[in-house]
Chain A
């Protein structure tokens, strides 16, 4: 089953990748196992986001760059604000990477 590897770029994904890197490089873990861990992470993360997270966010900003390639949208926004019920964040530059949600549910 294919997974979105996109979440590996998040904080939690990078921590996992680093941990796996260390363990593989010192021989604790085999690369094949490490890959399986990453794949499982992809699934678990996707599932958790679907089921455990309930918040809704609005995003506004100036679109500086857009790109659609391999079914992945990449936007670069300038002076963007992110709002939800609790918080509001403003950033001067943000990159948004989005995969097609339909690809997973095929």
Chain B
């Protein structure tokens, strides 16, 4: 079957323009979707594991009641195949050669950390090393600042209670340090078995026992179900979800990536649809001949089905060949950003949507027109038959719309995304209908003449069906591309705005009320003014409208805020980055009421007027919800779930003060002096974390940019598909015009004008539809306020008009350079 085989070979196919477009579109779609899906799942995994490493485990059980949990609980976990570890945390004074310092001790068992990395420096000249376990018995590792504060060296001894322990290393990074404001004084890390011998812990000491668990997600869940009924209020079970800080930012990146993927799918679908219709039209002569030579219509059907399958396989293989190296690069970037190895791990489930995209695109968009080839009459070999009217394509449209819905939904899992995009598209098609009607109504009266303008309008009218469908496809493409560009712009602006270079990178905690002014002056004098200072009272939310809160909202166990002590505050005015979403902020002089953070209010079902009771030490305070506000958690400033008015219910409660400020890297050494001057103020250094977040944002931005390029490539493919569809017709017309004596310059000008009009119309429609889609998206996915994007809205129609008219000029090239006779012959 050499000849038949050759007729159907992909290599031969590749030489045909329309097939190239279909294959290119498929490859781009598969590549984009695969890259995005792989990267998103990688991001997800990495995030969960870095969130896990904030706990140094997959789950933590904290006992804040100063007593260890019953031994059987831990044995049960071990029996269930979970890894376990334990830590004891407390504050105490330690003594160096002749200085002392309040430190925050973390005594860890051999297993620590179960997740994440611990980095230390073992000698004064040594480099950072990653270690698998904490210090050995008899040794301590300390925060480098303690060397100066206590005036000691590595190798010296440190007196902890009644024990002398050797300083064997400096803690540079601990997996579970950092984000928690309860990490108070500088760190001293020791072995848990040494704790008893120090004699520091007495009955009634403030101490926290922490148990670490790691293992299979399902086993952890089942263990928690077993454990939960036995937990007391002072026990807190913490999972990765609570460790979120920058996972919020990355959520948005993920949404964006998914949106990008959906757009790639849509663009590819349009390209495949246009090109395969074109291809089907071009195949009619071949089909007629094959029928004449004796191939039946079922044979024709099989032949083209085989070919579609070949395209599908080529698209999948090609797409994956593009996606894998790209994904590898992104993985490298991510690993650089996180400063730790991220395994190049192919999640085969993530590949399914990509491969499905190829199959659905082919069968929903390419198959219908190609299937109709079976109906081409054999008589066509003798006389050209009337072509398709376009009416046959109507059912195709329906299939296509359903398929697009399905794909985007499958892919993004976001109904609102599908609705926004399709809403934009529907709007666009509606506008197009009106435009079409106007075109027919107004241009009908224009008569051709020697004038380029008039010729261009006549041209538009004469090709009105082709013109409208071209405008439709261009507008659709522009809409999708513009949507993406707009969303990218607002996403990136938001991100960069969220962590400016002078974002606070240090917290001061535990400032005694009478030291507040002194601390503020200290930094003011050194040209480093503090952000606002907030009082902080630790309390537990215990009753809602007089009922124990754990009964009322027992269903949602994931509200971590219920399990632990909350930081309560009072503040005179609403912080600039908070937004009231219900109720109103406290009036001047108002002393009753409390303002609740919106996510928490949502999770607990709190509404305005609810009566909240907090237990603070042995006291209880009660207040009614007067406002609900959103909070910028990732602002690196102190944020509070509960805010009271000054002079309100909290006033007489024991408070310490907290603030954050920005200290440039080169002035880090000044912290030692500060700590000596204010030994009881805790300093939380988050500059490393901020740098990491900024780095991640930069790298993810690069990833997004790379994907954007892929998607714009898809848009170009669509454009090429559409324009090449009418190439021959236009060239033939141009040739005829010249044969009949039309001047070249007239032909050039009118064609360029015609295309400029096409491009302009398409640009205006596309941008308008994009704005509509972004408007809808902004509400649902990115929670931002909508604003017009003039800097994008204005240039796009102009660029599209210019580019298209250049393209029209370029298309005419063969018509102008060759004798009309030759051209007509060639186009025969």
Do chains A and B interact in one complex? no
Residues of A at under 8 Å CB distance from B?
none
